[in-house]
Structure 1
Amino acid sequence: MDLRQVLGIVRARWKFVIVTVGFGALLTTALLLYTAPTYSSTSTLFISTPATGAADTYTGTLTAGQRAQSYADLAKDNEVLQRVADRLDIKTSISDLRGQIETSIVESTLLLKVNTTAESPELAQQIASIESDEIIRLVKNLETPSDAEIPAPIIARVAGKASFNPSAVAPDIYLYLGVGLALSILIGIAGAVLRDLLDTSVKTGEDVEAMTGNALMATLPFDALVKKQPLSIEEGSGSLGEAFRVLRTNLQFANLDATRQMIVVTSAVPDEGKTFVATNLAISMAKSGRSVLLIDADFRNPNVADLLGLENSVGAITVLLGRATLEQATQEHVSGVSFLGTGPRPPNPSEVLDTQAMRDLMSAVRAQYDIVIVDAPPMLPVADAAILLTEVDGALLLARFGSTSREQLRQAVSRIEAVGGRLFGTVLNRTPRKAIGKYGYGYGYGYGYGYGDNKPAPSRPAKPERKPATAGLMSGAGRRVRR
């Protein structure tokens, strides 16, 4: 993976990176707020030896230098620390005190530095001062000979009193923020790359071609206005309307030898946008001057009638039961699309679709219309779409960008092939516009498997209903079409 691919992933998953960086900033801020400030103090001791001449001075300096390191180590002895703890105004353990004191020898000198830390500048200064006194006391006790007339060979004196520093030395705000921000960015980028590597959803034309064996037929871009105006796509001049016109044109070339086409619109799983695509594709084809019939064959979850603002109580099931003729059950939408709903929901949809009566109905509508578009259930959950594929010319398979997995798409294609069906092509649905620019192809959008309670009205008032002898069979916004 090169830098360009990483940048592309970060650009596509910028929200994840921003959230990660923001979360990291919050954690860093919380750490700063809950970390108690630490203050420091420093005192300096001078380790020397009395000398009377040049030779004595040289010898004494060597001796003092050798002893100084020993006293720096002994300064943290338990006995010394215990005396320091006893003199402090607060109760503290020897182990805690040892962690607050650091002693060191300044290189090439006889200076012993005592550095202390505490939760307040006053306490840090107090510890440094007491520790210095105890080191001087330790040197005096160890170096004073038993003969009082002989001077001590090593003495320690305060060279610099314990300092007072009102500014906290820890935590370092800028260091914490810098490290926290850097780690958050790295984690965000690494997480985005990892999510992309583990993401098995369909996002590119290459994904579709690898799983289906066919090139991508069209890409439909996401359009926020679809939810409010799901049937105004063809009237607009935007990229979504153009995408449907491209899809319409490509489908005309999918079966050049056929004068009439019967197409099943399906998907691998629910919520891929098949009803939205089937309906708007039918409207787009009707506007090209061809006679189009849109059939809602999803007996389990019919939604086309709600989308068109027509009646669904009379439809294919009504015709199969002999309660109405095909002409009586067919409604005409203001867009010019003829519509055949499901009618009453049967308890056994698959068995109903796999009957001779259903096959006769499909043959009848093929003979009457130039284009028949069938909105079918998804391929994987039920067998309904596979049954319909035996009676139509081919299937238009939908895959939702970032939702349909490559394996689901592959299984759907396998089921189409298993029943001897033909795949006209695949549509990548609901594609973000930024992703279209990233991957460099077509258009994108989709709506969903069901529309729930959302029942948009048609864009213009429907034509008045004619009332033939069988007027009691239907009621609603549509009118029957006789051919």
Structure 2
Amino acid sequence: MLARRWPTALICLLLGIGGGETVTALTTPVYEARSQLFVATRTGVETDDLNQGQSFSQARVQSYAAIVDTRQVTAYVARELGLRTTPEKLASRITAEAPLNTVLINITVRDTDPARAARIANAVAGRFITVVEKLETPKQTPAPRGARKASKAPAAPTSPVSLGVTEQASVPTKPVSPKRLLDLVAGLLGGLLLAAGAVALREALDTTVKTGDALGELTALPVLGSIPYDRTSARQRIAMDGAGSTVRAEAFRKLRANLQFAQIDDRPRVMVVTSPVPGEGKSTTAVNLALSLADTGMQVCLVDADLRRPAVAGTFGLVQDAGLTTVLIGQARVEDVMQQAAGRLAVLTSGAVPPNPTELLASERMAELLRELAGSYDVVVVDSAPLLPVADTIGLAPLVDGVLLVVRASHTGRDQIRSAADSLNRTGVRVLGTVFSMVAAFKGKGYGYGYGYGAELPVPRPAAGQEEPAGAAPRPVAGEK
């Protein structure tokens, strides 16, 4: 799916990366300053006293860390430094951490101004020492009434703990947020998820057929050939021009061979080439199939029976005004309007476009003409109109020996293909098989004959009203499908 939809996936990835860059650009830099405190107990120098003091400090230090962002600290710091913020908002930018099995407290302050972050961290540390020592200082019990005054006043109580600054906060030089690399990675992952979702959604909504196997399963008909799309032949409709062995030419030769071997017991003399909708490459398939059959030495006649948008005359540069319709209305004989193309192919062009093509193609005169051509030529290939837009081919189909259905890769919908096949089945006509046209191939190593075959991929769709050939873009010919 990603290979077929790589433009969508690429756009989603670029959007994700662009989103990460945008977040980085729009995020205000935040700086982090840190100060560190050491908690000790006021004890004697005896070893036992030192051990007890150490245990006492470790037990209390976890509680001290929770006092750092209280109002007793933040309100004083905000007032002392003249900060335009509330104690609560200031507390949200302060964190305190007491590592296990230590008597250290790390105070971290975040701010958009690096110098201000350092000032706040140092002010919080100083105020915190005062608050903790005040809280730990025992309250002095007043003497009872009537008690005799002592000759000497007792000493004022002191805090059993002592806090000291081990590391003053310095002005940070680099922001801790935003992190450009992290934003890019997050954007890339988001782009991948978006690409997967977009591709999956497009695949779910896409009802076109992308492989020959899928076409065969859908129609229950043999796929007689897959015609590749060749961008190098952008202005060349004819693949069988004798200029050498190209990928397109070999594909049409394979179609010819498959058609001959598939119908070896009852070879059709007159066959119609059609498609479900316009733009499938049916005219190009008819032209090149006729030329490939003529290359074997057979007498082949190509008839342009698409009387609404004929294309055969323009492909070969022949006269279009006199042809099939001229014969059908009795203004000329077949031999008078038959033309030669490529030195080996007899071509009966469409003639003037009539107002009633459906009636002409389904007439008894058309049946007589096809019988006459079948008696004069080994094979008659008829290029007919698409099945679904008009009824021309449905009326013509019962007069021929078989029909080839051309389907364009990644263009024709499943419902359209199914409707076209059902239309042919209702007429009782013999459907010879399908041709999968405009299949794009991966460029890779060939098999030693100067060409290679690859996996099937969709190709770009032509502009409205234009039919691309089965293997190359069409020439700009007047009246071309």
What CA distance in whole angstroms lies between the structure 1 residues aligned with 2:81 and 2:284? 79
Q: 2:92 aligns with which of 66, 88, 99?
A: 99
Larger displacement relative to structure 2 (206-215 or 82-91): 82-91
- Aligned-pair distance for 1:12? 5.2
Which residue identity is paired with 1:32? T
| Equivalent residue, structure 1, for 2:13 | 21
Aligned to 1:129: 122
Matched, 1:319 2:317: no
1:473 aligned partner: none
The one-letter amino acid of 1:434's match is: F
Which residue of the partner structure matches residue 249 of structure 2?
241
Q: CA contact under 8 A between 2:260 and 2:267: conserved in structure 1?
A: no
* RMSD between superposed Cα atoms in Å: 3.3
Tell me, in whole angstroms, the C-alpha distance in 1 between the residues paired with 2:180 and 2:255.
58
Is 1:38 aligned with 2:20?
no
Equivalent residues of 2:305, 2:350 under 8 A apart: yes
1:381–1:89 Cα change, 3 Å:
farther
User: Residues 334, 104 of structure 1: CA spacing in aligned structure 2 closer, same or farther, 3 A cutoff?
Assistant: closer
Q: What letter is aligned with 1:221?
A: P
Give the C-alpha shift of residue 166 in structure 1: 1.0
Partners of 1:87 and 1:308 in 2: CA distance: 94
1:426 equivalent to 2:418? Answer: no
Distance 1:85 1:330, change over 3 A: farther
Distance 2:51 2:460 in 1: 90
1-side partners of 2:162 and 2:372: how far apart?
Answer: 117
C-alpha separation in 1, matches of 2:266 and 2:453: 35
Deviations 1:227-282 (A, max 9, x none): 32222534121121122122223333344455761111111222110011111222
- Structure 1 position 101, deviation (Å): 0.9
**2:296 is matched with which residue: 276, 283, 288?**
288
Paired residues of 1:64 and 1:110 also in contact (CA < 8 A):
yes
The answer (yes or no) to whether the contact 1:260–1:366 under 8 Å persists in 2 is no
C-alpha distance in 1, partners of 2:378/2:354?
Answer: 28
Partner AA of 2:467 in structure 1:
Y
Residue 66 (structure 1) shift: 4.3
Q: Check conservation: 2:411, 2:461, Cα contact below 8 A.
A: no
**For residues 445 and 369 of structure 1, what CA distance do their matches in structure 2 show?**
38
Contact 2:134 2:159 survives alignment (8 Å)? no
Cα shift readout 1:150-172 (whole Å, capped 9, x = no counterpart): 22333433222113331222333
Preserved CA contact (<8 Å) 1:42 1:125: yes
Which sits farther off after the overlay, 36-45 or 345-354? Answer: 345-354
The answer to whether 1:142 aligns with 2:142 is no
Change in CA separation of 1:225 and 1:154 when aligned onto 2, cut-off 3 Å: closer
Question: Following superposition of structure 1 onto structure 2, how do residues 129-278 of structure 1 map, counting pairs within 5 Å?
Answer: 129-145=122-138, 147=140, 149-182=156-189, 184-185=191-192, 188=195, 199-235=206-242, 236-256=244-264, 261-278=269-286
Q: Is the contact between residue 389 and residue 421 of structure 1 (CA under 8 Å) also seen in structure 2? A: yes
Q: Letter of the aligned partner of 2:105 in structure 1?
A: L
Structure 1, unmatched stretches of 5+, are 1-8, 457-483
1:362-391, Cα deviation, whole Å (9 max, x unpaired): 333333322211111222222222221101
Q: Percent identity?
A: 33
Instruction: Report the CA distance between 1:203 and its aligned residue.
Output: 2.9
Matched, 1:449 2:467: yes
Match of 1:328 in 2: 336
Structure-2 change in CA distance of 1:95 and 1:151 (3 Å): closer
Deviates more, 1:177-186 or 1:359-368: 177-186
Aligned to 1:77: 70
Distance 1:346 1:285 in 2: 30
Structure 2 CA distance for partners of 1:233 and 1:90, relative to 1, 3 Å? farther
The counterpart of 2:110, out of the listed 88, 105, 117, is 117
- Displacement of 1:53 after TM fit? 5.7
What is the Cα deviation at residue 298 of structure 1?
A: 1.6
**Pair 1:234–1:137, CA change in 2 (3 A):** same
Give how far 1:57 is off. Answer: 4.7
1:133–1:211 Cα change, 3 Å: same
Q: Secondary structure at the match of 2:278?
A: coil
Following TM superposition, by how much is the alpha carbon of 1:294 offset from its aligned partner in structure 2, in angstroms? 1.7
Distance (whole Å) between structure 2 residues aligned to residue 65 and residue 312 of structure 1: 102
Measured in 1, the distance between the counterparts of 2:370 and 2:88 equals 89
Alignment of 1:303 onto 2:303: no
Structure 1 SS opposite 2:92: helix
8 A contact 1:277–1:446 mirrored in 2: no
Q: C-alpha displacement at 1:186, in angstroms?
A: 6.0
The answer to whether the 8 Å contact 1:216/1:428 transfers is: yes
Q: 1:35 to 1:446 in 2, by over 3 A?
A: closer
Q: Which amino acid aligns with 1:205?
A: G
CA apart distance, 1:58: 5.0
How far has the Cα of 1:309 moved from its partner?
1.2
Using a 3 Å threshold, how does the CA distance of structure 1 residues 232 and 204 change in structure 2: closer, same or farther? Answer: closer
1:396 aligns with: 404
Deviation larger for 414-423 or 353-362: 353-362
Aligned to 1:474: none
8 Å CA contact retained: 1:430, 1:445:
no
SS at match of 2:388: coil
- Per the alignment, residue 395 of structure 2 pairs with 387
Distance verdict in 2 for CA 1:96–1:316, change over 3 Å: farther
Matched position secondary structure for 1:276: helix
Letter aligned with residue 150 of structure 1: P
**Residue 354 (str. 1) matches residue 362 (str. 2):** yes
In 1, Cα distance between the equivalents of 2:381 and 2:170? 88
Deviation at 1:285, TM superposition (A): 2.1
* CA shift in 2, pair 1:133/1:348, >3 Å: farther
Gaps of 5+ in 2: 141-154, 444-451
Structure 1 residue 292: Cα displacement: 2.2
Deviates more, 1:140-149 or 1:427-436: 140-149
Indicate conservation of the 8 Å contact 1:222/1:446, yes or no. Answer: no
Corresponding residue SS for 1:280: helix
What one-letter code is carried by the residue in structure 1 that aligns with 2:313?
A
Secondary structure in 2 matching 1:295? strand
